[in-house]
A and B are shown apart, each in its own frame.
Chain A
């Protein structure tokens, strides 16, 4: 089977508010950078297929995928859209390459939440209208909070452990060029904050961010034409738990476990502890720990307390700050974690696992296994 590499990445934004560019212009800027990074690739000649990952409601335009091709160089070229997280789009790109359909695939995702004046109202439209939305719960984070309470009720992690995750990731983000929410704060400062809703303070909840990200994938046959330092994707998978709140598993990330099983099988992974970094969705503090468990890491809480996951330690987790420091760019969140992993390996680390979550009211996740 053909191996797949990341041969180019580009991004634009990672600001709480990109004032001057529309989301389509942000896509163009990110794509231009990705093609430059891929050895000056010409998307009009060198790319076989394009994939854009997006949801209509965020843009305030129905059927917004009609606008996907042209800002990334894909006008009148084979283009598909994925109504889901960017890492799901990468999985589709991998399938297109391994099936022999394409040699070069471009995956794009973007977010401009600063354009959404009634953000929480739009989020609520993704709730089941009859059994959930009609309850008129006044805070959109309540499902994550129910999940976190259940996670904590299992008796391993405490509120202080969640605060440690916040402190670790926000501090780690200070070394990143794309982490507007990074801050040097300690665990006690997090614990001193008022609850927004239990068990979360404002610091435990990642904030939305404007960003566009483009990733260029290539088959092993052509990868080195575009990059001297390809980053290989050895396995990738995505999965959905029961899609209804009342039927999905709370307190553990079953979607991530299923996705990891698939990706690990494809890549022949024996243990995630053998990797040099993990980049996992932490848009709520407890999610980092829940997702690490689902990736097959045992004694997660004990390892956190021992500093095992801190930057420079045995298995750094979100060493570039995660979404708590960078913000979460909606459907581009998975690509933002992948972007961190690619940069991390280009800086010299050997391997990484990326685990993304589709976010609010979903029980869908994706996992990618990568190395230099």
Chain B
């Protein structure tokens, strides 16, 4: 055990370097491509388990419950606001010019969901209208 410690800040040295993490290619995968192409057409696509019928949004190749390959793609309907937060500050503690509402948008009869930027009155469970298809979705509560 070291009993001799340096207590004077100006006597300390530090070594600064850069950790390279800025460039990386993430493979979308089969279902990722189908999903993003669907978004371009204004559709939210999910994929249904052939065994239990669970529909995953975004679509997934396999069912985590049954561990079988999922089957058909289906269009998810009935979007609603499951939960939300109003963000006032960014990660550096700076106040945002305008608070940003981020919500988790789910779809009736489906598992999963997507992040959405939310406008309108905030109430968990409210149905929403999708104004813009992207990540995040842009939605307005009804």
Listed in ascending order, the chain A residues whose CB lies under 8 Å from chain B are 19-21, 25, 28-29, 32-33, 36, 60, 117, 120, 125, 129-132, 134-135, 137-140, 142, 145-150, 153, 194-199, 242, 244-247, 250-251
Contact = CB atoms under 8 A, between A and B. Distances in A.
Contacts of A250: 82-83, 104
A139 B96 CA distance: 10
Contacts of B113: 246
29 contacts: A19-B12, A20-B6, A28-B2, A130-B28, A131-B135, A137-B87, A137-B100, A138-B87, A138-B90, A138-B100, A139-B90, A142-B85, A145-B87, A146-B102, A150-B82, A150-B83, A153-B124, A194-B88, A197-B85, A197-B88, A198-B85, A242-B64, A246-B57, A246-B111, A246-B113, A246-B114, A247-B56, A250-B83, A251-B83
A131 B64 contact: no
Interface in B1-18: 1-2, 5-7, 9, 12, 16-17
B79 interface: no
A247 B2 contact: no
Nearest to B137: A135
A315 B111 CA distance: 37
B26 A150 contact: no
Interface in B76-96: 82-93, 96
Contact of A130 (B26, B84, B111): B26
Q: List the 10 closest pairs (A to B, CB-CB), nearest first.
A: A145-B85, A120-B91, A246-B112, A150-B83, A32-B1, A138-B90, A135-B136, A197-B87, A153-B124, A198-B86
A150 B124 contact: yes
Contacts of B9: 19
Contact of A138 (B24, B56, B91): B91
B115 interface: yes
B107 to A, nearest CB: 10
Q: Which of A21, A138, A147, A150 has the most CB of B within 10 A?
A: A138
A137 to B, nearest CB: 5
B46 to A, nearest CB: 11
Interface of B: 1-2, 5-7, 9, 12, 16-17, 19, 21, 24, 26, 28, 32, 56-58, 64, 82-93, 96, 100, 102-104, 111-115, 124, 135-136
Given A33-B1, A130-B26, 7 more contacts: A120-B92, A138-B91, A139-B89, A142-B85, A145-B87, A196-B88, A250-B82
A91 B142 CA distance: 48
A247 B115 contact: no
A148 B86 CA distance: 12
A36 B1 CA distance: 10
A240 to B, nearest CB: 11
Given A60-B17, A135-B115, A130 B32 contact: yes
Contacts of B114: 131, 246
A102 B96 CA distance: 54
A25 B2 contact: yes
Nearest to A247: B112
A111 to B, nearest CB: 17
A212 B124 CA distance: 41
A234 B53 CA distance: 41
Contacts of A19: 6, 9, 12
Q: Which of B9, B83, B103, B111 has the most CB of A within 10 A?
A: B83
A88 B87 CA distance: 33
Contacts of B84: 146, 149
Nearest to B16: A117
Contact of A195 (B64, B88, B91, B102): B88
B83 A153 contact: yes
Contact of A137 (B6, B88, B102): B102
